[in-house]
Chains A and B, each alone.
Chain A
């Protein structure tokens, strides 16, 4: 009997608790009546320093922007279910714009359809979704990975063009991932297009991790040697930094014996640049909060936008590293 009573009490408390939550939410959406916008942001998670910088940037931009009344930020811990749930909550709360950084490309048709029915525009941040669902969002604001590859390619042509055959080692990202595929495509598009005389000595995946970059580079060095290699192109910072360790341990000077291009532009990458171990950094910019807020306001006003809005991204050579280092946010 006592046990039943306790269970009953517990259930009652739970009910009461959830009712209280519901009331809170009702108050929260009262932001609608204010002048600014209420924006729901379903973020991927906090899986990397890049992502953390991205979240910080979006939150800071929303805070500072007068046009934005409130940013409802949901960390989905890399699970699609949590993002879908978050979007449904945003719809219930009648936010003005939904921003989604999708964990995966597929499975969004239903929930984004619901948002459309509710008349809430959706903006994708960073990653994309499958082409069949293109009508369900207004625009995607993100990095143009092919363009990043092209930038690396242009610098290579500029630096090595006209000389003897340029011998290149490449550290690819995770097999089959969009950034790995696109950074490769863009790079060779420029090299082939400009007619650079090059030889790809070897190209393997380092899985975007320092561990992978270092162990693959060790194997490259023992298999091909480094004497004949002119350039190392790493698809991200982490792999590049791992490779630099392997090069140093083999008794070579990274940046001098072998020129190195990395993509991303983290603080650690720039520090290596300042030390002269990296020759060129192509930025993959997570700090697009301000740009995102502009897009959100435009979308809410019903402006026509291209399906893809590239994030503003820079490139940095040896002369820029020291000046740029303090600006790095991740």
Chain B
């Protein structure tokens, strides 16, 4: 647990630094939530609310990356989920609860099936994850366009569907509630059952875990299925927030932001280890960063560069080699002496 917290220290430090910058520029209103129309508002709450789709996708991505995989198709699955939900509701009685329920379930099931398909390609057909998911990354938006007929379907503002993006439960915005439920659900699932360990063992060495009696193929498929369902849910929330589904631009490049969030959170792309809390912090950093650029008064042209700089800082702070190199001049005085005598016995050993 101690080493776990240590891993989270640097991402947390960067997040706090970003928050301090924002508070310095816009005042304490930035962090203090306000209640408006029975829903929590304020800048930071809005950031969190807006970041929920990215959070869901990043959590799914974390699970997949734990198995040494990667899922590039999440952005396209986001678009498909959004398209299915909106199109289904549009063609039916918009204000009926069961319509909305069916739409959400349908979108989730399709997204999960797509995820399972990705997993099957990886686990049974031996296609490399980056290739297997690249196929749907390219084709997925086309599928979403076929569903929407090339248009942007807009649902009415009266349908309960939009509450998934705009509503509130006991003043907490619904997307945040969903994000928390999924987050704690996945944490419980992976940390109180054997699933987490199985995921890590499959990611560490699929062949060894198979020989150890783990059904590694089933675990792989399950990981991609969870990721797909998360992406579909993200699409549902995103489209509910806007009341429309844009097959071309919905969730565009979100797979890259998700991978970024996972890496910032300390999960290695090599698999075998994963940190859901770290990923959540990574998502908060990315979400806050976009607002910081506007608050500080940088123009839009800066958006990508600023993001790159912050990611660079987080990545390099997490590298033990860099920290050791940075601290070397300060340490050499005190640390050199106790370590210096140590090589001697070895030298003797070699001499003998």
Residue numbers of A with Cβ under 8 A of B are: 46-49, 52, 172, 175-176, 202-205, 207-211, 214-216, 218-220, 222-223, 238, 242, 245, 249-251, 268
Contact = CB atoms under 8 A, between A and B. Distances in A.
Contact of B248 (A47, A203, A214): A47
A207 B246 CA distance: 13
Contact of A222 (B42, B152, B299, B303): B42
Nearest to B145: A46
B291 A211 contact: no
B19 interface: no
Given A250-B36, A251-B37, A216 B145 contact: no
Interface stretch (B129-137, B235-243, B314-322): B235-243
B246 A210 contact: yes
Nearest to B36: A251
B102 interface: no
A210 B242 contact: yes
B159 interface: no
14 contacts: A46-B150, A52-B151, A175-B300, A175-B301, A204-B300, A209-B246, A209-B249, A211-B242, A211-B249, A211-B250, A219-B291, A223-B43, A245-B243, A251-B37
A220 B26 CA distance: 11
A168 to B, nearest CB: 15
Nearest to B43: A222
Interface of B: 26, 29-30, 36-37, 41-43, 46, 50, 145, 150-152, 154, 166, 238, 241-244, 246, 248-250, 290-291, 294-295, 297, 299-301, 303
A205 B304 CA distance: 12
A219 B248 contact: no
Most central of B26, B152, B297, B299 by chain A CB within 10 Å: B152
Contact of A216 (B243, B294, B297): B294
A219 B30 CA distance: 10
A238 B271 CA distance: 40
Contacts of A209: 246, 249
Contacts of B242: 210-211, 214, 242, 245
A147 B112 CA distance: 48
Contacts of B154: 268
A271 to B, nearest CB: 9
A207 B249 contact: yes
A250 B150 contact: no
B29 A222 contact: yes
Contacts of A172: 300
Contact of A223 (B26, B36, B241, B246): B26
A204 B134 CA distance: 32
B249 A222 contact: no
A208 B152 CA distance: 13
Contacts of B50: 215, 218
B145 A214 contact: no
Nearest to B150: A46
Contacts of B297: 202
B32 to A, nearest CB: 11
